[in-house]
Structure 1
């Protein structure tokens, strides 16, 4: 039996529109394509973890609509345990994503059913047997806090991807074994530090969190892990098509490989490779690789 990762997070339908260049405030531009994909940071990270070697149990909610049925089925098709994925009355979460020809994106979220994942709905046995438990910030803050508490009580290592960062500073650092952030999120959590200085951002966060990974996009990653620090470059790619799911792919891959027993550097290397694979394809979940695509 493979190592178990519990992912608690959001499930969204992604409406993805491509444009030549992202519009400026007040500007209207024509789109070049429109597609709908399965998404949500929680679901994306769960799919990445499942495809890259872990058994995954998912905790979250979808709405009582066609999108909810579609998303539940898709997670199950990836072998994810969805018995803790509730169906609630109302719409499923929606992400409106605009992607430029250069691969940059802007995203607007409508929480939908995600806002109805309540702290009182959580139970200790949901985290039973987990090696790691992975959280993001697209659910209500008190729900994330309770999930972290229960995961720690169940003996799991806890990983927080502080995205989006609002409210993350209110979560007790002692509940978080590993913090994963990009530069924008790091700057939010370290407001007194120069946001253009990633080394300073990492150093500040490392004074409060046990271990930190700072993702830098095309510049790779930096980390402070169990007292050691280091960096790793990103893999070169021929063309960046869509960066939407890259961070989620990286995080899910990293957690999966740590859960199955890879070394820290080995897990990072595979996570970086997974993110590079992802950005060369369109759509968050469709672009997430399987382990065989990275290892041959």
Structure 2
């Protein structure tokens, strides 16, 4: 498949409130608020790399919504599909970071009793020229956004738009009281199943692969689904395993120059993968791994995203 037109990223745009290293962002300071959310991160990453991209999502009619509107305009992300909800605020995610910068999502701030804007995502018309629709599972956690996502998936099927799925399992979005390290319930897996069975490309973290498929072997995961998708399994600093175009391989993770914050590393990886999709699988994965490594050198998932030239310079310095 050639990447020849726009990628559409659909889902949550939010603020990651990063606590001090080793601290609690709910009570300890100073905190560092960064614009984020996996689909928004991927959209901004693709735009910085030079791929035409649009973002569809719902934000509050508030300062965070204004900041995202300005960011998308600055990055060149098509955002005519951005919805502003006057009744619900944009979501703030509390992010704990250990002394090494590894993060864990622990809960939310900003809810005024009616939930968050991303949960109220309304009807969307998918552009017919889109070659990829990039989604995660978080919209499935709420009835309104789940209904919207299902309708967009029907449009993707009708238009021949390939679906790229970054599973991005976050239990607290499904149940605010859930253990942030908990896996999906059987009910949640059942809700995800139609999406898993439509995706042409599925990216999973190692633990997600085990929870959903009982395996970390990308080829075995692909064989469990009727459409036999391309599958990529990431594992933090461990090698990436992949099955694409009928071939398999591994890609060692690159060591970033420094690790400030790992938030958004997986999203930068996804952006790099889609940006280089026309290349051979090994080149796609190598480029994507470099994007993920470089994002770890700065705070948040968007500000430190690299340009294509920066990725090429990083890879050139390794050879």
Normalising TM by the smaller chain, what interval?
Answer: 0.7 to 0.9
Distance (Å, rounded) in 1 between the aligned partners of 2:36 and 2:304: 11
Q: Which residue of the partner structure matches residue 44 of structure 1?
A: 41
- State the secondary structure of the residue aligned to 2:242: strand
Q: Is the 8 A contact 2:81 2:124 kept in 1?
A: no
Distance (Å, rounded) in 2 between the aligned partners of 1:246 and 1:50: 16
Q: Which residue of the partner structure matches residue 171 of structure 1?
A: 194
Q: Identify the structure with the greater strand proportion.
A: 1
Q: Is the 8 A contact 2:26 2:94 kept in 1?
A: no
Q: Which residue of the partner structure matches residue 252 of structure 1?
A: 271
Q: Report deviation, 1:271.
A: 0.7
Q: How does 1:127-142 map to 2 (within 5 A)?
A: 127-139=127-139, 140-142=145-147
- State the secondary structure of the residue aligned to 1:19: coil
TM-score (norm. length: structure 2): 0.80
Does residue 211 of structure 1 match 2:230? yes
Distance (Å, rounded) in 2 between the aligned partners of 1:172 and 1:71: 27
Q: Which residue of the partner structure matches residue 239 of structure 1?
A: 258
- State the secondary structure of the residue aligned to 1:160: strand
**CA 1:212/1:30 → structure 2, altered by over 3 Å: closer, same or farther?**
same
**Matching residue within 34, 50, 63 for 1:66:** 63
Q: Is the 8 A contact 1:189 1:205 kept in 2?
A: no
How many pairs are equivalent? Answer: 279
Q: Which residue of the partner structure matches residue 277 of structure 1?
A: 294
- Compute the RMSD of aligned alpha carbons: 2.4
Q: Is the 8 A contact 2:240 2:250 kept in 1?
A: yes
- State the secondary structure of the residue aligned to 2:79: strand
Q: Report deviation, 1:285.
A: 0.8
Distance (Å, rounded) in 1 between the aligned partners of 2:26 and 2:161: 47
Q: Which residue of the partner structure matches residue 50 of structure 2?
A: 53
**Matching residue within 105, 117, 121 for 1:117:** 121
Q: Which residue of the partner structure matches residue 6 of structure 2?
A: 4
- State the secondary structure of the residue aligned to 2:15: strand
Distance (Å, rounded) in 2 between the aligned partners of 1:294 and 1:263: 17
Q: Which residue of the partner structure matches residue 216 of structure 2?
A: 198
Does residue 262 of structure 1 match 2:279? yes
Distance (Å, rounded) in 1 between the aligned partners of 2:161 and 2:107: 29
**Matching residue within 268, 281, 286 for 2:303:** 286
Q: Is the 8 A contact 2:245 2:281 kept in 1?
A: no
Does residue 105 of structure 1 match 2:106? no
Q: Report deviation, 1:30.
A: 7.7
TM-score (norm. length: structure 1): 0.86
Distance (Å, rounded) in 2 between the aligned partners of 1:29 and 1:97: 9
- State the secondary structure of the residue aligned to 1:42: helix
**Matching residue within 137, 151, 154 for 1:149:** 154
CA shift digits 1:169-228 (9 cap, x unpaired) = 3325441101111012212212xx3xxx633x7523542142111011111211112322
Structure 1 residue runs of 4 or more that deviate by more than 6 Å after TM superposition: none
**CA 1:105/1:149 → structure 2, altered by over 3 Å: closer, same or farther?**
same
Structure 1 gaps, min length 5: none
- State the secondary structure of the residue aligned to 2:39: helix
